[in-house]
Amino acid sequence: MSFAIRVIKPSSFLSVAATNLFLTEIKKAIASNAAIVLVDFERIPSMSSANFLTVVKALKLVRSSGCKLFLCSLSQQIRMLFELTGLDQVVTILADADEFAAYVQMQRATVEVPRQPKVEIEATQIDALKLAS
């Protein structure tokens, strides 16, 4: 199984332009038909309520498109915002990019099933299947 993963790593949320750039990157990831969007907050130590609302808007955009959103490298302050609002129950939060990579690897291992060779069915088996249904 293969699926596209897009990683967004904002470097700042200190200006309106930075938050708009973040939303633009989210929209580009969705437009690229990504199945998974990872937002790595490694460079973001804290955020205002306006920044938090921008992240919530991004979450809604990603979910409405059918993608799955993951967050990683949240500071204690940002993690607390997600816990207090209950959004930690809605989005998958991982410790860092390495944990995300391990998660994806594990999912691939559990989803990928070796293809079975085609089995020839004899005419008598087909008749038995018809009778059973």
Domain extents in the chain: 5-132
Least-confidence region, from 88-97, 101-110, 117-126: 117-126
The pLDDT score that the predictor gives to residue 111 is 59
CA 114 – CA 35 distance, rounded (Å): 22
The answer to whether 74 and 42 have CB atoms below 8 angstroms apart is no
Angle at the Cα of 15 (from 64 to 93), degrees rounded to 5?
Answer: 45
CATH classification of 5-132 is 3.30.750.24, yes or no? yes
Is this prediction's pTM over 0.85?
no
Q: For residues 57 and 133, give the distance between their C-alpha atoms in angstroms, rounded to a whole number.
A: 49
Per-residue pLDDT at 96 exceeds 90: yes
User: Phi/psi of residue 38, each to 5°?
Assistant: -105, 125
Per-residue pLDDT at 3: 66
Q: What pLDDT is recorded for position 13? A: 86
At 26, is the secondary structure helix, strand, or coil?
helix
Question: How far is the C-alpha of 127 from the C-alpha of 79, rounded, in Å?
Answer: 60
69 pLDDT band, cuts 50/70/90, is: very high
